[in-house]
Structure 1
């Protein structure tokens, strides 16, 4: 009887412990933030078919505004953990100058806009991208009293060594403007 009870306990123990599985933590796929105009410090865009949003624990998002000579300069900067190489980060930097910024749609071109994008591949190879042709930026809210800038953008960038072009679409930002 003791032997049967012992075998039953061993059997149930084996079943119990063999069925234990480590819970897999599934991170939700990144999504673009809503288009808002409240100064929520949100930012995102599609880089080809890939969602690009800030996703590091440290502050990786900034919007600076100021005068450069007679022109207004807006600098949007975002850094994210590279999806191809989790030990590194990618960055996006849009520098836009215009004599006068207000709500409305403006063309992005090489005279008024500088785009710097860098991505890091799985083999730790950096790819740099610059503005290719034209794009557009729409300011939904440009409120200097409350220091809020929000809007949307779309453009195309070209990889500096290969000439590969990538569409940046569905861009949106809702930021508190710093100096």
Structure 2
């Protein structure tokens, strides 16, 4: 089973998949993959860290301080470190495909798709994995991979909103565990 969750920035996609992971773990499932969390200084978002759900390994993949000097890859005010996406994100996905019961990928977005290895790992999740995969998708990004995912009739797709963000995690867990 493949599930995607999309929604506007700040709608709770990451929170939703973290809640799903916690609920599945309580039921005895091994959950792997990666999540991307905001880094804030006060109320201001200054970057994003990527976290391996199985090992807890994490590193900063995008930051305002990376904009000028460290990375040629940019999204808005953030410089993006593709090597961190590869060394933590891609490895987390590959590890989850081997060792976990459920694979989570948060998020398939512009920053992550700078990495060709990440794109390959997502294609593998969709086409080769028999394991359940839950992915969050950037809502407006135009990319051939995202078009293929959105147009795949075998993938269950949810759009997150303020109204459904509390009911979606138990609904997804119910779908995965029936």
**Would you call these one fold, judging by a TM-score over 0.5?**
no
Normalised to the residue count of structure 2, the TM-score between the two structures is 0.31
Normalised to the residue count of structure 1, the TM-score between the two structures is 0.31
Q: More helix per residue: 1 or 2? A: 2
**If you compute each CA radius of gyration, which structure gives the higher value, 1 or 2?**
1
- Report 1 or 2 for greater relative contact order, CA contacts < 8 Å, sequence distance ≥ 6: 2
Q: More strand per residue: 1 or 2? A: 1
